[in-house]
Amino acid sequence: MEERMTLRPHHGLCIRHFTGKGYSPGFVENMARVITQLHDTPEQEICLRMREDILCGNCPHNEPGGCTSGQKVRRYDAAVLALCGLEDGAVLTWGEFERLVEERILSAGLLETVCRGCQWLALCQSIYSPKSNFADN
Ligand code: SF4
């Protein structure tokens, strides 16, 4: 298995809604690569941190002084952690985190509560459908 992966908590939602759209070809390519890795290895260990992660490197909002979206994305991160009952620095598998995001945020209809103010919100709301396979596990 790959070494532990750092993920911003709200990226658990972004990954769930990714359809190949993004800020730039480089961003989309990196996002698709990371998502493929996570889907192929749900036992991948992740560390949830409210700071730059594996997806931020190719983002145009990622500047030397930090994320230009600033407090907004920290608010998304904090909401995801609180709703999932986790803390900054939590270590778990991708599969565990994906299940928490699904059950406590998406199935509960709380996407807009977490992501209000994101430019992609309407798109993400339009493509969400519950993951039926979680009910079988
Ligand atoms: S609305 Fe924005 S922050 Fe929320 S999942 Fe979609 S892209 Fe990510």
Ligand 1 lined by 11 (C-beta under 6 Å): no
Find out whether the beta carbon of 79 lies less than 6 Å from any atom of ligand 1: no
Weakest-pLDDT range from 53-57, 63-67, 95-99, 100-104: 63-67
Binding site membership of 67 for ligand 1 (Cβ less than 6 Å): no
C-beta 5 within 6 A of ligand 1: no
The finding on whether 124 has its CB within 6 A of some atom of ligand 1 is yes
Cα 22 to ligand 1 centroid, rounded to whole Å = 11
Cα 18 to averaged position of ligand 1 atoms, centre (Å): 9
Kindly state the helix (H) or strand (E) to which residue 32 belongs, with its residue range: helix 25-40
Give me the pLDDT at residue 132, please: 56
88: left (phi over 0), alpha (psi -120 to 50) or beta: beta
The chain-wide mean pLDDT, for the chain, equals: 89
Q: State whether the beta carbon of 13 lies less than 6 angstroms from ligand 1.
A: yes
Best mean pLDDT range from 19-28, 90-99, 117-126: 90-99
Which is more confident, 56 or 47?
A: 47
Distance CA 137, CA 134 (A): 5
Residue at token pair 């907004």: 72
Nearest to 59 by CA among 50, 72, 69, 46: 69
Banded model confidence at residue 104, pLDDT cuts 50, 70, 90: very high
CA dist 9 to 3, 35, 54, 130, Å? 18, 15, 12, 19
Q: Kindly report, residue by residue over 52-85, the tens digit of the pLDDT.
A: 898 887 787 887 777 787 788 999 999 999 999 9
The whole-angstrom separation of Cα 113 and Cα 119 is 14
What pLDDT is attached to residue 6?
95
Is pLDDT of 5 > 70?
yes
Given the structure tokens 């699904």, which residue do they identify? 102
